[in-house]
Copies of this chain bind each other. A is one copy, B any other.
Amino acid sequence: MADHRTYLIDRLEVERALTIADAVDAVERAFAAYGDGRAQMPPKSYLTFPKGDLRCMPAYIPEMGVATVKNVNVHPGNAGLPSVMATISVVDPETGFMLAIMDASYLTAARTGAAGAVAAKYLAREEAAVACMVGAGVQAETQLAALMVVRPGIRKVLFCDADPGRAETAAQRAAAAYGIESESATIEHGVPQADIVTTVTPVRSPIVKAEHVRPGMHINAIGADAPGKQELEPQILRGAKVVIDNWDQGSHGGEINVAVSGGLITRDDVHAEIGEVVTGRKPGRERPDEVTVFDSTGLAVQDCACAALVYQRLTADSDARARLAAVDLLRLA
């Protein structure tokens, strides 16, 4: 039998192969495939440990040519290692062979930023000019980078963070990266100015209040990722057009989970899953003054679409393949 090798793709190779604009495009196509019912995405599986957990996320999008399984941990307070690390196994649907294993730490951040951007593309006003990032960590930076792809008219960004120094640093970096007006702000001052608000904090109780929200605003709620966590006052959800990525994940641990478990909103109060909006089954923004909220929990199809792109780019020809490390795990020869 021929030599069958599995490519090993490290974080730097993934970064080289996948721009933020690529990720936005791939995630939009993933949402479309999911919305059209062409994608397979079994529920996430969880293993729980004393200090963290591991999530196992399989997905298959036929037109993308590969199936993927992402393993991603969450260990808050990991000493010497990132809290979140991820790998993706890329499998050939034709044979079941494992084509590649790639680091997915950057990819996970990129596809999460991309989801917010795709939501903004369909839900934020075209003329959106001011963005406010609530939380000024790494994911705020990625969310902004993706947002700039779909709303290049943004001319000002505000960063709000419990650590004002961190907000200031993020603002300086954004100014340098995009040449736009950029400053740190309190939530009270920053959010009401914004056309697009992105929440990327680890808080458990709402920090964005209904009084901060203005007509026409779009909010990407990214941070809530577990039962009991929320970043927005539930009244905001009740007054808004709410779009989620997936009902099971969102109602279990997304921004809407507290409001759903408290009976404040039901499935009927949710306007759509993002796949339905991207495929045109349901409308996105319909009026300039409506408030829209996207609750992102992160779908395995986003990982699949981005990993497919990375794999195909990095193995497109023999020169590209020669650059990659590889291992023959089966040893059939």
Residues of A near any B CB (own CB < 8 A): 1-2, 4, 8-12, 40, 42-43, 45-54, 56, 58-60, 67, 69, 71, 73-75, 78, 80-82, 84-85, 87, 89, 91, 93-98, 101-103, 105, 325, 327-332
Residue of B nearest to A74 (CB): B96
Number of copies: 2
Bound CA–CA A325/B43 (angstroms):
33
B329 and A10: CB pair below 8 A?
yes
A45 and B56: CB pair below 8 A?
yes
A78-B95, A91-B73, A95-B75 known; A103 and B67 CB under 8 Å?
Answer: no
B45 and A58: CB pair below 8 A?
yes
A329 and B49: CB pair below 8 A?
no
Bound CA–CA A250/B97 (angstroms):
26
Bound CA–CA A91/B11 (angstroms):
18
B54 and A91: CB pair below 8 A?
yes
Bound CA–CA A72/B42 (angstroms):
15
A58 and B56: CB pair below 8 A?
yes
A98 and B80: CB pair below 8 A?
no
A58-B47, A78-B95 known; A327 and B42 CB under 8 Å?
Answer: no
A110 to chain B minimum Cβ distance, whole angstroms, is 15
A67 and B49: CB pair below 8 A?
yes
B80 and A96: CB pair below 8 A?
no
Residues from chain B with a CB closer than 8 A to the CB of A11 are 329-331
With beta carbons under 8 angstroms apart, the residue of B56, B85, B101 that contacts A96 is: B85
A96-B74, A102-B329, A329-B101 known; A42 and B42 CB under 8 Å?
Answer: no
Bound CA–CA A53/B73 (angstroms):
25
Given pairs A51-B95, A105-B330, 7 additional interface contacts (CB within 8 A): A10-B327, A42-B46, A54-B58, A54-B93, A73-B96, A75-B96, A84-B96
Bound CA–CA A75/B10 (angstroms):
29
A16 to chain B minimum Cβ distance, whole angstroms, is 11
A49 and B94: CB pair below 8 A?
yes
A331 and B103: CB pair below 8 A?
yes
A69 and B69: CB pair below 8 A?
yes
A56 and B81: CB pair below 8 A?
no
A89 and B91: CB pair below 8 A?
no
Bound CA–CA A329/B23 (angstroms):
20
Residues from chain B with a CB closer than 8 A to the CB of A89 are 71, 87, 89
A85 and B97: CB pair below 8 A?
yes
Residues from chain B with a CB closer than 8 A to the CB of A9 are 329
A15 to chain B minimum Cβ distance, whole angstroms, is 9
- The 4 tightest CB contacts between A and B, nearest first, are A73-B96, A42-B45, A103-B329, A49-B93
Residues from chain B with a CB closer than 8 A to the CB of A67 are 47, 49, 54
A91 to chain B minimum Cβ distance, whole angstroms, is 6
A165 to chain B minimum Cβ distance, whole angstroms, is 23
A80 and B2: CB pair below 8 A?
yes
Bound CA–CA A269/B80 (angstroms):
52
